[in-house]
């Protein structure tokens, strides 16, 4: 709920390292980070590929940060999946790089994601705030 703590378009950049897989809702986390970014600002992430699989969905490892054959950012678990690149294509450009699959065993692969905000938006465009309890501080 980072959007409750920062003004809209007040942040130049956000780093997220090995954290999205621990979120209750990683897509919402990305959307809210984008929301507070200035136009042209970046979110940069670095994650182990599909860590929840290797951690057997235990502890804080509930989500897999992954990619598909088109190098789209995919966040998924046993019950849900979202193509983040496709879902956010109107408001962001997402560039994904990853370790070489041919020389790095899958359990040691990493994913680096750069998400650049290209236009402003309302949270309701991506989140159903009426169904959620929004905390105000």
pTM higher than 0.85: yes
| Structural domain contains residue 137 | no
Token pair recorded at residue 1: 């709920």
Q: Is residue 130 part of a domain?
A: no
Q: Which structural domain range is residue 16 located in?
A: 2-125
Whole-angstrom CA distances from 46 to 34, 43, 98, 112 are 16, 10, 9, 5
Give the domain CATH number at 64: 3.40.50.150
Q: pLDDT tens per residue, the chain (137 residues)? A: 788 899 999 999 999 999 999 999 999 999 999 999 999 999 999 999 999 999 999 988 999 999 999 999 999 999 999 999 999 999 999 999 999 988 998 888 999 999 999 999 999 999 886 666 555 54
Domain total in the chain: 1
């Amino acid at each position: 709920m980072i959007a409750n703590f920062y003004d809209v378009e007040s942040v130049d950049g956000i780093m997220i390292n090995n954290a999205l897989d621990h979120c209750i809702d990683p897509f919402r986390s990305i959307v809210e980070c984008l929301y507070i970014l200035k136009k042209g600002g970046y979110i940069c992430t670095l994650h182990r590929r599909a860590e929840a699989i290797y951690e057997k969905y235990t502890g804080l490892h509930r989500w897999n940060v992954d990619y598909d054959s088109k190098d789209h950012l995919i966040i998924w678990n046993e019950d849900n999946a979202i193509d983040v690149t496709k879902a956010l294509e109107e408001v962001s450009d997402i560039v994904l790089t990853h370790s070489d699959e041919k020389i790095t065993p899958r359990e040691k692969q990493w994913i680096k994601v750069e998400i650049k905000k290209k236009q402003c938006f309302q949270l309701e465009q991506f989140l159903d705030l009426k169904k959620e309890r929004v905390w105000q501080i």
